[in-house]
Amino acid sequence: MVTMTYGEAAKNALHEEMQRDPTVWALGEDLRRGGVFGQYKGLPEIYGPDRISDAPISEAAIMGVAVGAALSGTRPVVEMRFADFALCAVDELVNQAAKARYMFGGQAKVPIVVREPMGMWRSSAAQHSQSLESWYTHIPGLVVVCPSSPVDNYGLLKSAIRCDDPVVYMEHKNLWALEGEVDNNDPLPLGRCRFLRKGTDITLVSWSATVHETMAAAKTLNDAGASVEVIDLRTLWPWDKERVFDSVKKTGRLIVAHESVQAGGFGAEIAATVSDVCFRELKAPVKRLGAPRVPIAYAPPLEDTVRVTAAMIAETARKLMKM
C-alpha cells in the first residue's frame, strides 16, 4: 500500500494503462502543462505530444476527434477540464458515442473515457461548480463513475480505460488533494459498490465528495448509539442494486445523499427503485438529500447554503430513527 493523493492516484493509473496498452492516449486542453489540477503532470515528458495531446479550446472538436479515434481502434482519455464545459460536447458524446454500438448492430465500439471534474470548489461559482452526473445516467449506452477516494480513483480509472463502452468519469475537484492508501494492483470492477461501514439501524448511500459527509454523519450517529451502514455507490450506471437492496432489507431505513441538485437527481432513481423492491421491509419513508434548485453562488456563505452537510444527514437520520 502506498499513500498518495486522489490526483496522483489517477495519474498513476493512466500512466500504467498507457504503458500496458499503446492504444491508450489522452487529449484535451492544457495537458502539456500537466492539466488544470496537475493530474497529467510528468506524463507529457514521458509520452510526447502524440499520446498526451494538447487541443484547441473547442470541447466539441475534442470529443468528436476522440469518438472517431475510438471507432478507429484506439482508447482515448478525454479531458474536459470542468464538467460544465463538457456540455459543449454533449452532442458528440450523447448522440454519437453512446449510440454507436447500437446503431451499428454491435459491429463498432467507442471505448473512450471522458474525465469531467465536478462539484463545488473554492468559490468557483455557477459555471464551474455543477454536479451533472444524473444527466448521463439518463443516457442508454453510457457508463457513469464517481470515485470518492484515491484508491477508487486509481482502480476505477483503470477499469474505465479498459471498458469497451464510453465512460463518463466524474472526479470531484475538492478531492484532488485528498490523501489515502492505494494498492497498486488490479482494477476495481465497475458497477460494484463499497461498504464503508456496517450497521443494522439505517443505510446511508452516497457517492463522490458527499461520501465523506456521510461518514462524518455516521460517526456522530454511532456516538449517539445508532448502528449505521454506509455505502459508497462509486458507479452510478450500472449501480449495485442488489447490494443496496440487501442493506435496506436489513436496516429498514434509507437516506440517499448527493451534492447535485435534488430535483431530478440520481438519488430519486435510487429512492424509487428501493421503495418498489423493499416496501415490505421499510420502517420509514426513503429520504433523499441534495442541493436546492438554484445556481451555485460565488460568495462562500451563499455557497455553503446549498451544501449537503454531515449535520444535515445526521439530523435526517435521527428523525427517521426517532432518536
Q: Which amino acid is at 92?
A: E
In the beta sheet, which residues pair with residue 145?
169, 235
Q: Is 128 a residue of the active site?
A: yes
Pick the catalytic residue from 15, 128, 212, 258: 128
The dihedral sign for the CA sequence 312, 317, 318, 320:
positive
Contact of 230 with 188, CB cutoff 8 Å: no
Which cell goes with 20?
500496458
How far is residue 291's CA from residue 256's CA, in Å, rounded to a whole number? 12
Neighbour-count burial of 93, counting CB atoms closer than 10 A to its CB (0-12 exposed, 13-18 middle, 19+ buried): buried
State which amino acid sits at residue 278.
Answer: C
Question: C-alpha distances in angstroms, 34 versus 7, 8, 147?
Answer: 11, 12, 21
Between the CA of residue 70 and those of 63, 96, 225, 316, what are the distances in Å? 10, 11, 52, 45
Instruction: Give the active site residues.
Output: 128
